[in-house]
Amino acid sequence: MSTQTTQARSDRSHLPLSHPRLPTWAPRLVAALAIAAAGLVSLTLGWGVVAWVLLAVVVFAIALPAWSLKVENGRAAKDRFVTTLVWIAFGTALVPLGSLMWKVVSEGVPVLSAEFFTYSMRNVIGEGGGIYHAIIGTLLVTAGAAAISVPVGILSAIYLVEYGGKSRMARTVTFLVDVMTGIPSIVAGLFAYALFALMFGPGIRFGFGGSVALSVLMIPIVVRSVEEMLKLVPHELREASYALGVPKWRTIVKVVLPTAMSGIVTGVMLAVARVMGETAPLLIIAGSTDSVNWSLFGERMMTLPVFVYYSYMQPGVPPAFGQARAWGAALVLIAIVMALNLLARWIGRRFAPKTGR
């Protein structure tokens, strides 16, 4: 028995501890060869660039795992194949985003100027004018929507997490929030219009109505994001506060909310960015105008999404100037949304709880 055991150990000692591996430059080599082979086939058959790229991707996805299977082993080949599929999916997702950004930037940058940001479209026919009135309207309407949605959303989330538990009321509120998440934006606009038409009569158009319509879309996003952030706060923090005799409301204000503040701010900013680009509700209730309107409770108010819509659908004569202004306004809207996302990240880091020892 001891002889067999010694022999088995001796055989095991000669087993390799690692399999051969492909060099680090192997994927780059396979990619270069795949591009060259696909280019040769495409030139021979007269294919375009898209077919060339697709064929190169297929050749790479087959060649690299096959080489890995030959040199390494089956597990490594599967890993390389799945990794290739992940990169292909990532690249496919970037194609529409990259093409959209390229189109908007290439069409919108030539329009940007000092006049474009400081003038409205009042008494402008053809060339000239700007989006000053639309920027002011977008900021005011979005600020009004945030003023309505943020307190309602945060307080609702606090009730669901801290007070509601598994009660019937909490389940009902959660169900209604989920239903509101799927409401089409035009329905929110119709709701706001119907609400204010009952108060002020048909044909009412003003900025605060747009804020109410956007708040209908924004509240469920704020509730769900804040609810998830509050659930991530460890229960040990609440229990430690209760053990010191701190009442529940003060625990929420001084312990729970500061701990979750980073995620709450991020969720609110994302909700604001989400509703800032809505067009249908504002077309219905906020209307459009060529002049600057500083009052949410005044007359019609222009916003950037509505300005883009009217500038492209009704560009005027000649149409090239109106369509150019539409691309410029779209670029500005994307820049504002991006700035809000960056601001949300900065505030999230600024208010994140310190983790040092």
Superfamily for domain range 118-351: MetI-like (1.10.3720.10)
CB atoms within 10 A of CB 26: 15
Cβ within 8 Å of residue 197, ≥6 positions away = 203, 204
How many Å apart are CA 311 and CA 308, to the nearest integer? 5
Please give the pLDDT value at position 16: 54
Joined together, the tokens standing for residue 264 give: 């709450």
% residues pLDDT > 90 (the chain): 36
How many Å apart are CA 148 and CA 215, to the nearest integer? 6
Q: Average of pLDDT values for 191-204?
A: 89
Give yes or no for residue 298 having a pLDDT over 90.
no
Domain ranges of the chain: 23-110, 118-351
Q: Average of pLDDT values for 323-350?
A: 86
How many Å apart are CA 211 and CA 46, to the nearest integer? 55
How many Å apart are CA 276 and CA 217, to the nearest integer? 11
Give yes or no for residue 158 having a pLDDT over 90.
yes
Give yes or no for residue 276 having a pLDDT over 80.
yes
Give yes or no for residue 357 having a pLDDT over 50.
no
Lowest mean pLDDT among 27-31, 33-37, 219-223, 338-342: 338-342
Overall pTM surpassing 0.75 (yes/no): yes
Please give the pLDDT value at position 311: 87
Give yes or no for residue 12 having a pLDDT over 70.
no
For residue 231, which of 199, 267, 207, 201 has the smallest C-alpha distance? 267
The residue assigned the tokens 């990794």 is: 83
Please give the pLDDT value at position 18: 64
Give yes or no for residue 17 having a pLDDT over 80.
no
How many Å apart are CA 350 and CA 352, to the nearest integer? 6
